[in-house]
Amino acid sequence: MKERIAIIDGVRAPFGKAGGILSGFGADDLGAVVVKELLARVELRGEEIDELIFGNVAQPVDAANVARVIALKAGLPKEMPSYTVQRNCASGMESITTAANKIQAGEIDLAICGGTESMSNIPFIYRREMVNLFSQLFRARGMMQKLKALLAFRPRFLAPIVGVQQGLTDPVCGMNMGMTAELLAREFHITREEQDAFALDSHRKACKAMDEGLFEQETVPLPVLPQYRKIHYSDEGPRKDQSIEALAKLRPYFDRNTGTVTVGNACPITDGAVAVLVTSERRAKEMGLRPLGYLREYCYAGLEGERMGLGPAYASAKLFKKSGMRLRDFDLVELNEAFAAQVIANERAFSSRAFAQENLGRSEALGEIDRERLNVNGGSIALGHPVGATGTRLVLTLLKEMRRRNKEKGLATLCIGGGQGAALALEAA
């Protein structure tokens, strides 16, 4: 990149499990809350923003181009363009890198970027037989035609298609995301015990960070559903009472017979939203804005859909080649925890010379991922993974921790459903 991109500040909603504390919020409502709070924190008026770019995966049927709805609900000027980007799990990163490209091209100066997802509100879908019956009823021109259509009804027509299950299934390889994790567990010989131990560590680190008030620096309190009658300040997912014994009791969820992936060592389905302010390094200096940090370089990569969990290895290899950086140059790493098996598979892929030669076109391994530098405040197994928002959260969480620890460089990376990976090189301000 010809100029570093400044990330000035950011804010996120506390993440809630699907069907839980945030289920009363739509994706547009969650996005509007964090955008309003971001503007208040950076002390800017909406008129000073050039564009709003938001990631979202499950586009709400009642809020087409959800970014535009967010902008208007947040009180931004109607003249300001806003649009939604979608790269599955990396949608929140895509919003930042899209803005970076436009800033470097001189098209915009200041952008609000982020991601939002209400997985609680991903709808159930009528089956084709029921849709056809409704269509026949609408076209019927008399009582006899309507009666004929109704007589064709069968109770099985009402069995719903669960939208979230459809969205988490790759239509090309035919595997849901959990089965891709099972595939990696077998390929890299990852045991159930290793996965459960990793999951427990994620909860412990997240709970420690919550106890120390670290996430309060990046979250905005939210009033939740009426029955809770309180303001919700913290993420719903981390469990202080989580234990290896409790995790061991859970049955495999995706492969009931021989599998090792459970709901305990996978990320939960989650609601949440994140927003950050993005501009050029030059413009930040002109405006007297102190950035959290900078985007130095980024890369996306593609691979087989059934091995999508290895996206971080593929994208990081491209990033290292493009930037001249090496894994040991990074002080901290945020690697999204879609599944414990997927993170451990990446650890082994990064450290394997054979993997690098056979899959990445490299003569040497990417390097050893130091667990002391990896997801130091826990990850999505504990916090949750609102798919359109997680990419932005990784960036925000990493930059906040880099500042707290006075570290210079951070790597934010994740796998992407469908067979892609993303990797962002971040630098301290």
Rounded (10°) angle between helices 340-351 and 192-211: 100
pTM of the model as a whole: 0.94
Q: Where are the beta strands (DSSP E) in 159-224?
A: 161-162, 222-223
In the predicted structure, residue 144 carries a pLDDT above the cut 80: yes
In the predicted structure, residue 149 carries a pLDDT above the cut 90: no
Separation CA 3–CA 102 (nearest Å): 12
The model's pLDDT over 33-81, given as tens digits with 9 standing for 90+, comes to 999 999 999 999 999 999 999 999 999 999 999 999 999 999 999 999 9
Q: Rounded to an integer, what is the distance from CA 256 to the centroid of its chain? A: 27
Mean pLDDT check: name the lowest of 121-130, 224-233, 388-397, 411-420.
224-233
In the predicted structure, residue 204 carries a pLDDT above the cut 90: yes
On whether the CB atoms of residues 265 and 178 are closer than 8 A, the answer is no
Separation CA 257–CA 248 (nearest Å): 15
3-state secondary structure of 129: helix
Separation CA 19–CA 396 (nearest Å): 25
In the predicted structure, residue 21 carries a pLDDT above the cut 90: no
Residue 225: pLDDT band (50, 70, 90) is low
Separation CA 423–CA 340 (nearest Å): 19
Catalytic one of 89, 207, 267, 299 = 89
Question: Tokens 């989580």 correspond to what residue?
Answer: 242
The model's pLDDT over 291-336, given as tens digits with 9 standing for 90+, comes to 999 999 999 999 999 999 999 999 999 999 999 999 999 999 999 9
Torsion sign over Cα 166, 86, 48, 401: positive
Q: Assess whether 189 carries a catalytic annotation.
A: no
On whether the CB atoms of residues 33 and 14 are closer than 8 A, the answer is no
In the predicted structure, residue 103 carries a pLDDT above the cut 90: yes
Catalytic one of 113, 207, 232, 385 = 385
Amino acid found at 150 = L
Residue 165: pLDDT band (50, 70, 90) is confident
| Nearest of 291, 242, 279, 281 to residue 263 by alpha carbon | 242
Q: Give percent of the chain with pLDDT exceeding 70.
A: 98
**pLDDT score for 230:** 62
Q: What is the pLDDT averaged over residues 180-203? A: 98
**Residue 228 half-sphere exposure, CB side, CA atoms within 13 Å?**
14
Average pLDDT of the chain, as a whole number = 95
Separation CA 422–CA 424 (nearest Å): 7
Q: Assess whether 385 carries a catalytic annotation.
A: yes
Catalytic one of 113, 207, 267, 415 = 415
Mean pLDDT check: name the lowest of 62-66, 162-166, 261-265, 330-334.
162-166
Amino acid found at 116 = T
